[in-house]
Amino acid sequence: MLVLASTSPYRRELLQRLRLPFECARPEVDETPLPGEEVAPLVRRLAAAKAGAVAAARPGDWVVGSDQAAELDGRILGKPGGREGAVAQLASMSGRVVRFHTGVCLHGPGGVFAAGDVTRVHFRTLARDEIERYVDAEQPFDCAGSFKCEGLGITLFEAIESHDPTGLVGLPLIALAGLLRKAGYALP
């Protein structure tokens, strides 16, 4: 059985694109960054920890773990949690390039495979009223970076640079498909 170590509806919708049967399981993982931990190692560590936590309870299954964080000026931008946090995050990213790091790990009986991706999002210069209209319309409070690129959030950007556009949503399917092939899955 393939198991997604996540309860994120965004990751679940992405994994459904591969048309493989899977289940979802909540990973019990502390997502606190380690002292001095940089963003890329953080998301890879958390992806592996999520996959490993669920795999420990499901021997014989292949488990997918993923994590994402935004980086601006060397600091991590997490989920905003509410309206004011989202408005502040988007204001801080206005006219800037923000790096979104995504880690993915496949853990199972045949080994552990991992990959990572970086997406660079070029934000337009955003007026406060634009930001507030967007936040009120889409309420992206559970999204790193305070936007949903698969929705109205696309209007906030000048450009997106990525090897894997699904990485920005939280589960890099190009990388994951490669990991699944290593594990013996036939795709498509």
What backbone torsions phi and psi does residue 151 show, to the nearest 5 degrees? -125, -140
- DSSP H helical ranges for 17-165: 39-57, 83-93, 128-138
Query: What would the two tokens of residue 166 be?
Result: 């699904």
Q: Find the catalytic residue in 30, 61, 67, 164.
A: 67
Q: How many CB atoms lie within 10 A of CB 86?
A: 25
Do residues 55 and 72 touch, judged by C-beta distance below 8 A? Answer: no
Do residues 67 and 43 touch, judged by C-beta distance below 8 A? Answer: yes
Which residue, among 23, 21, 47, 43, has the nearest Cα to 34 in the 3D structure?
Answer: 43
Q: Taking the chain, what is the end-to-end CA distance rounded to the nearest angstrom?
A: 17
> Distance between CA atoms of 105 and 68, rounded to whole angstroms?
12
Is 67 marked active-site?
A: yes
What backbone torsions phi and psi does residue 119 show, to the nearest 5 degrees? -115, 130
Residue positions annotated with a catalytic role: 67
